[in-house]
Structure 1
């Protein structure tokens, strides 16, 4: 097959293997292995999209992941549509449906292009000024219009039909990049016996060797050597090769994120095959061989379709066999562009001229150009271009000269030199240095166990690059623990060394405000925008970036950052290093939501946790509520009962006889070690070294700021072992809180923390007959009142299985909490339930638990506290040790604002009309007749009907609440005002006798 721009006998693809696809409804034929960009160029298509702000026609600029223009919509069938895919990366597959984006009604005729005519009104930062007045217009006019205009692709309406996978891996050496440097380092590391992972974003290894035919390694053409080397690595059992895989993030402790594309290139992926896989890798050593990115030239109208990077033109020719034009111009400040011109000329493509803005390029290049009949214009610049939907001519003139002439072209290849790809190194928190001789930033100070090799490290000569990579690979393996020598050596050579390069605007892209010399193609940022930002007072590069949006497009400034820095430095009159660098953030290239979310969607989006007794509670008719991720039995209605009737019955039964409650969701943490008591002393406000084994204590945990963070009962099982309970919703954060302090503030303590929340099933038996219910099942523990008083804990057996039995109560009644291994929970639950019902008891749920605890004045952290409540505010100052000299929050509690009068404090509230239950969240005022806005004193935190008291009860946070006991306050609602009396928080059994049995 031969397309209009496909050159027979050139490239590495097989003409016999074809694929058909559509672009904007028109059918095209490609070769298997083509990217969408290569296939469209082979068919003479250069127009691929429209820019974001001005809707200017845009074509392919690159051949790789740095592409800012060629974003397309790719689909294969319903439910499999992906917007904003880079056409330079997406491989063609048979039946692919490709659409252009950000245009209406068609790509060639886009009404949005009118923005280009009004571009003087859309200067950088115009939105910060334009949409400030009048304020009333923002929500009615500005915001809706801006939201409709925002974005490039259209989000799919259909649910994603694909699925995704995730893998965790450890390795000795991770090599990021499969070019000459990466392959060499990987082979050297692997030969030592180290466990190696090699990841590269391209389908085939080789990196720049895809286009650089002048590179010779070990006597072979570079690309052929790369395929032979990758075959060797695949055959080694200690090496994992990950093609089509981008290392997108470098995080702490050599933890890296990798996105592997598994089926985007396949015609009919198997149903079981994931579309993409997220790799989360912990590596002992990392070798960064991420290469360099070619820079474009900044000159007037440098964005027309048909203008692209010289390396891209060379890639399309040498790898895909596609000429980017029939009459090609080259504009450069770097030697490497000459190689592109030479390769094109040898393939039969006419080279209109090489325009070199340098006065004295290498004589060897000029001599070869002459021998090939190529005109070279040294000391010249391209001042402008012409063409509507594709470049048709360039305007060329001598630097500093007045005369200009036009040269007809149908493509223009540009090169301003190469920028080392230091993104991953910077993400690792490594520090860069500026190489003034070559105008580039290079890795300097390494913070993590990594090393940069090859052109990303500034090593351009191929022989030096190979030597550097061999050493780095072997050293990395040995640093990871390998003992053997690599015992590998080979040499390489370029056809010549590349020199030159420039950053910033070329001649003809100066101060003229009418010149559009583009830096950031996707966001339409021009050189004049950078200069405007400086004139507007933006002197920080981060401010300039945000004012202009330079480098904030999906390519994250891979092409634009260095030019923007140079122009800003020039405008500020500073050396470039003093202007600084913007931050390189993950991901390196966009990663799909599917890859990141993975299995966490649908029913798995927020995983449901169920207690061991869930099925039995369901069979018993429980109605469930969501508490965090847990499904908890809310109440157990009987025939004909509504929720209030069921809860009232459960409350009365638990107080009169006995109630059985599933408390398995309580957070449980095992704190073990010789310094366990010291550690808890530091984490809680209470003292724990005085607690004897076999006893329990209620504990309050505060943050550094002194505010209540969590609470719970802690039992001392032995001198060096504590069983810590937390609130249901607080278990993960409390464990994290403890781990954080143990590792960062108290690493000298010998303590180990283990989450045991799901190890133990917990059955709470509460009420006057609680002891009678459990006594027949208890073995090895004397549970008499004298031997086992309130706040005791003991280990023994229950129903013949191991147990930790707690004598604790969250209802104020005689109570026990039975902890048994989770697998035995259902059987124990059945036995306890049967006996409880035999003595007139019942099962009860969380709503009843809430009412019973409120009757006794027990708080729930997160409901009765709001993150600004101290122990004293909550009436728990008795739980703060007066003798301890240190604990987390001790200094926070001494802050003047936390001990002043006028703080909101937790109090009881009783409606003047007993049958009226205040609304939770209702605001509390002193005078309901005061003018609006009223002065709010606080709010209702909990409110219930108490069947045991025959009236409503509530808690509230009220300013100086402890001093207001006896006062009448008011809760104004939409239709009425509720009068309440401020009381203490204990409404039932104020003497507390019932809890002691």
Structure 2
């Protein structure tokens, strides 16, 4: 069960703990300490996937987060997870994994493998060119096919049974990366007493020290790392975060990290969360994120068995796996030669080094030949053979600068090709922090340049590739970070003695030449995950794309979960060479967070279901539940939507509630309306500036309706405001807009008008409100408030008064959102349920009917009353809504005045609020329906849209469907017919005044 390619000894795996797992239905074995990728290779499994576009066989390329090919599906049922990389999936007992982007049965027999034969018809951007001649064919035929073909993993359909945490952490020094550089920096920073956090994405600290044979202070590299980390763990102010990927770097040194707490366990304790999302605020940051080895771009460089040289070294040294027996190591630098030595030492019978450089050091070549390794310098691998695994490499001599071949190809039989084109610093987090990159000609890579935030980059991510130099640089950075955070520091401790090969720069070889150009014969892959080839980049340039960001989008190079980790620098260099420009001039693409994918569960944390957002309940909520109300969410409030009786659907319940309110009396819980108490000597002037109409002459005891606009002149919110006394007002807002209005008003008070003596207090939850509406409303209110004069003659419309309601001190407002005689009774919040009970009891004789928000919408729409956010979408002015009367022509200024009186705002063809009445009274138009000219749908597209439906209902009072809509120049077209574009065909509707019911307003006063 250990696998045919597992070495007999060595590695950092625990051979005393065998593990059984399932791959594409096959039961295989490995050891604790393996990753899924190392276990698959140990079992001789190289073909693990099919490529994104061409369905070519793909194998494991890397050994960490840089892996572009080996995405898998793990688990099943409610614990399945799509697209983790096999190289970072820890092997645990019972793990179930399978290939993605393949048909049933796995990648060996993918029926779509023939897609590769059509590759000449699928170059970069082919879907833009080939499938858009007919919109119908695109939508109904091509798009579904492409979407089905391009899928990767499958999302779970059942609720996630695991839990996730969000944590906040403040520290003095955050060190990102637990390799030798990160350990050295954390060790020195911790000596000062600073709060230090060391985070690394692997389960074990050590970074590259785990992957290659290195000695520090006489200890193996992993032993030195274990010793130093153990010492850090003893420090009280040090927090160690293994299995934690820092994936985002934001403003003010805020970094986000994902900690995988139980993914490495076969059975996770029920009390431990699966993953934890850390929000870390650091005074200083040290980035020690290392570097990714980049592949070489040659013909057919994507076959299974073609891997990065560093990955080959890691599989041999760390996981005791022999990835191939007949190996070719193709490189342009000294570093890859180590992989050849490790392969030979591990027992590979045939190892050949192909180095594109015409000359290498005599010692390097001598050591290789003495080890039995064949060496060919001045040569390149220019092509490969094989199907589901590489079987041969085509080797040709190349000229000194690697731009052309100089002789015939020689075929070398092989089952493994290890490639190395140099190293690319992992600058993703540095770039996310808005730091600028600089190009290093010596090492042929982009490295950190000018930092914007308080940070330092050290080691390979800073372009420092020698181990001794890395340790010295990191130790100094740790000292400096602690000092900058305000701690007293001493000079760094002496660096450990190091036994490691000297780091030497590569000789760049961005595009390996061959007898044929890219795109003819073979495929030179640049981005393995997105099937982007060198020919695609050349095509993009020929078609006029020169910006690196445009080329990225056209070719997909650097897209997806890979984010260009192995592809970016090769793509940039090929683009630069094609354009004839230096690589720095071409620049880089944007590195976006997250650095590696983050699960939705971790992002949501515990904010799921009822915890997704706060649920706000009125004091009367239990009464609505008892009445079997259906609820809707409005600005976090649970508002009764309608009150169905036995056998009623929503339509029947709303019709009954509307009729009862129009004929007798209805009652509504209006407690959720936003309420803002405004006090101060300048309160009237303040209102005059925020509303479009005048407020200075509003009398105490009176109420006025107002509209607020933004600076752009568009309607922001509306509501009524009552004058409580000389320097005090009570403003109401829409339920969903209360917080936004409060923020809007506070912003102007604090930033624009700090001289105004005004205080704002939200009192939404201090007052419970019950609205009583209908012809019998007065009779009900008189029973609830027997000692107060409530008749319209004594209590006029748009006024308010204090009273005693059901023995409770109250404020009563005479306003109406239904068009009926209406009283809004406000009592202290905790008396809301008592008031509701009193009103229901007082209305028994009149069959008082509770109504919900849907009925409220019908009633207000019959009267043509707007709801901001429904009749408005941020592009409507009061003029568009037919509310010219509410815009003062005399006030010198108010928010949005200058915008409102621009000529463009007065255009007669702007979309204006009108009513719509279908010719067929049974028709209720869907909200959002587009309105067009009569017969327009019979003409070829595009069909100009006149406007759209904002609100639509069936009215029992009108015995018809009706709607409100925004129509271009609508007010000048009242009485005309137009058409509503429905899927079933056009429906004729007539433009109507927005007021459908009681246009004179007689019912408002009973």
Q: Which residue of 2 aligns with 1:620?
A: 627
Q: Per-residue deviation at 1:54? A: 2.7
Q: Which residue of 2 aligns with 1:994?
A: 1005
2:553 to 527, 546, 549: 546
Query: What whole-Å deviation, never above 9, does each CA across 1:618-654 have from its counterpart, x for those lacking one?
Result: 2134344555654422344668988788667756776
Q: Secondary structure at the match of 2:68?
A: coil
1:759/1:447 CA distance change after superposition, 3 Å: farther
1:717/1:289 CA distance change after superposition, 3 Å: farther
1:459/1:685 CA distance change after superposition, 3 Å: farther
Q: Per-residue deviation at 1:905? A: 3.3
Query: What whole-Å deviation, never above 9, does each CA across 1:915-947 have from its counterpart, x for those lacking one?
Result: 989757699999979996799876665567777
Q: Does 1:572 align with 2:572?
A: no
Q: Per-residue deviation at 1:250? A: 2.7
Q: Distance in 1 between matches of 2:795 and 2:906?
A: 39
Q: Per-residue deviation at 1:721? A: 8.0
Q: Which residue of 1 aligns with 2:382?
A: 383
Q: Distance in 1 between matches of 2:932 and 2:369?
A: 95
Q: Which residue of 2 aligns with 1:126?
A: 126
Q: Distance in 2 between matches of 1:931 and 1:564?
A: 47
Q: Does 1:584 align with 2:595?
A: no
Q: Secondary structure at the match of 1:336?
A: coil
Query: What whole-Å deviation, never above 9, does each CA across 1:679-702 have from its counterpart, x for those lacking one?
Result: 766654346677788875433233
1:500/1:936 CA distance change after superposition, 3 Å: closer
Q: Secondary structure at the match of 1:768?
A: helix
1:29/1:435 CA distance change after superposition, 3 Å: same
Q: Which residue of 1 aligns with 2:828?
A: 820
Q: Which residue of 1 aligns with 2:180?
A: 180
Q: Per-residue deviation at 1:879? A: 3.1
Q: Which residue of 1 aligns with 2:493?
A: 489
1:949/1:289 CA distance change after superposition, 3 Å: same
Q: Which residue of 2 aligns with 1:899?
A: 906
Query: What whole-Å deviation, never above 9, does each CA across 1:568-612 have from its counterpart, x for those lacking one?
Result: 111111111222222212221223333334556667678865434
1:531 to 516, 538, 541: 538
Q: Which residue of 2 aligns with 1:469?
A: 474
Query: What whole-Å deviation, never above 9, does each CA across 1:10-39 have from its counterpart, x for those lacking one?
Result: 112221111011223332220101001111
Q: Does 1:410 align with 2:421?
A: no
1:445/1:535 CA distance change after superposition, 3 Å: same
Q: Secondary structure at the match of 2:329?
A: strand
Question: Which stretch shifts more, 767-776 or 973-982?
Answer: 973-982
1:711 to 695, 713, 718: 718
Query: What whole-Å deviation, never above 9, does each CA across 1:839-883 have from its counterpart, x for those lacking one?
Result: 875533334433544565532223333544310222333333445
Q: Does 1:504 align with 2:510?
A: yes
Question: Which stretch shifts more, 375-384 or 651-660?
Answer: 651-660
Note if contact 1:190-1:486 (Cα within 8 Å) is conserved in structure 2: no
Question: Which stretch shifts more, 432-441 or 670-679?
Answer: 670-679
Q: Which residue of 1 aligns with 2:242?
A: 243
1:348/1:745 CA distance change after superposition, 3 Å: farther
What 5-or-longer segments of structure 2 have no aligned partner?
Answer: 400-405
Q: Does 1:204 align with 2:204?
A: yes
Q: Which residue of 2 aligns with 1:228?
A: 227
2:452 to 447, 452, 462: 447
User: What is the TM-score of this pair, normalised by structure 2?
Assistant: 0.85
Q: Distance in 2 between matches of 1:935 and 1:307?
A: 56
2:778 to 764, 768, 791: 768
Q: Secondary structure at the match of 2:81?
A: strand
Q: Which residue of 1 aligns with 2:563?
A: 556
Q: Distance in 1 between matches of 2:95 and 2:900?
A: 64
2:732 to 692, 713, 725: 725
Q: Which residue of 1 aligns with 2:32?
A: 32
Superposition map of 1:411-450 within 5 A? 411-450=416-455
Q: Distance in 2 between matches of 1:597 and 1:677?
A: 44
Note if contact 1:291-1:420 (Cα within 8 Å) is conserved in structure 2: yes
Q: Per-residue deviation at 1:351? A: 5.8
Query: What whole-Å deviation, never above 9, does each CA across 1:540-571 have from its counterpart, x for those lacking one?
Result: 22222233222224312111111011111111
Note if contact 1:503-1:563 (Cα within 8 Å) is conserved in structure 2: no
1:662 to 662, 666, 669: 669
Q: Per-residue deviation at 1:358? A: 2.0
Q: Secondary structure at the match of 1:392?
A: strand
Q: Which residue of 1 aligns with 2:402?
A: none
Q: Which residue of 1 aligns with 2:403?
A: none
Question: Which stretch shifts more, 410-419 or 709-718?
Answer: 709-718
Q: Which residue of 2 aligns with 1:459?
A: 464
1:474/1:769 CA distance change after superposition, 3 Å: farther
Query: What whole-Å deviation, never above 9, does each CA across 1:760-791 have from its counterpart, x for those lacking one?
Result: 5433345425764554899xxx9999999866
Q: Secondary structure at the match of 2:504?
A: coil
Q: Per-residue deviation at 1:807? A: 5.9
Q: Distance in 2 between matches of 1:793 and 1:126?
A: 68
Q: Which residue of 2 aligns with 1:339?
A: 338
Note if contact 1:808-1:817 (Cα within 8 Å) is conserved in structure 2: no
1:757/1:381 CA distance change after superposition, 3 Å: farther
RMSD of equivalent CA atoms: 4.4
Q: Distance in 2 between matches of 1:720 and 1:424?
A: 54
Q: Which residue of 1 aligns with 2:92?
A: 93
Superposition map of 1:908-919 within 5 A? none
What 5-or-longer segments of structure 1 have no aligned partner?
Answer: none
Note if contact 2:332-2:422 (Cα within 8 Å) is conserved in structure 1: yes
Note if contact 1:454-1:468 (Cα within 8 Å) is conserved in structure 2: yes
Q: Secondary structure at the match of 2:552?
A: helix
1:45/1:623 CA distance change after superposition, 3 Å: closer
Q: Distance in 1 between matches of 2:751 and 2:593?
A: 26
1:317/1:670 CA distance change after superposition, 3 Å: farther
Q: Distance in 2 between matches of 1:794 and 1:474?
A: 70
1:360/1:921 CA distance change after superposition, 3 Å: closer
Q: Per-residue deviation at 1:497? A: 3.4
Question: Which stretch shifts more, 675-684 or 9-18?
Answer: 675-684
Q: Per-residue deviation at 1:92? A: 1.0
1:845/1:193 CA distance change after superposition, 3 Å: same
Q: What is the aligned length?
A: 985
Q: Per-residue deviation at 1:252? A: 3.8
Q: Per-residue deviation at 1:469? A: 3.2
1:227/1:408 CA distance change after superposition, 3 Å: same
Note if contact 1:503-1:562 (Cα within 8 Å) is conserved in structure 2: no
Q: Per-residue deviation at 1:319? A: 1.7
Query: What whole-Å deviation, never above 9, does each CA across 1:713-765 have from its counterpart, x for those lacking one?
Result: 34577999875533233345556666887899889999998876566543334
Q: Distance in 2 between matches of 1:990 and 1:551?
A: 64
1:317/1:870 CA distance change after superposition, 3 Å: same
Question: Which stretch shifts more, 136-145 or 946-955?
Answer: 946-955
Q: Distance in 2 between matches of 1:871 and 1:950?
A: 30
User: What is the TM-score of this pair, normalised by structure 1?
Assistant: 0.86
Q: Distance in 2 between matches of 1:426 and 1:797?
A: 65
Q: Secondary structure at the match of 1:151?
A: coil
Question: Which stretch shifts more, 364-373 or 390-399?
Answer: 364-373
1:257/1:719 CA distance change after superposition, 3 Å: farther
Query: What whole-Å deviation, never above 9, does each CA across 1:85-117 have from its counterpart, x for those lacking one?
Result: 211111111122222233445533444333334
Question: Which stretch shifts more, 432-441 or 236-245?
Answer: 236-245
Question: Which stretch shifts more, 528-537 or 902-911?
Answer: 902-911
Q: Distance in 2 between matches of 1:448 and 1:793?
A: 56
Q: Distance in 1 between matches of 2:767 and 2:186?
A: 47
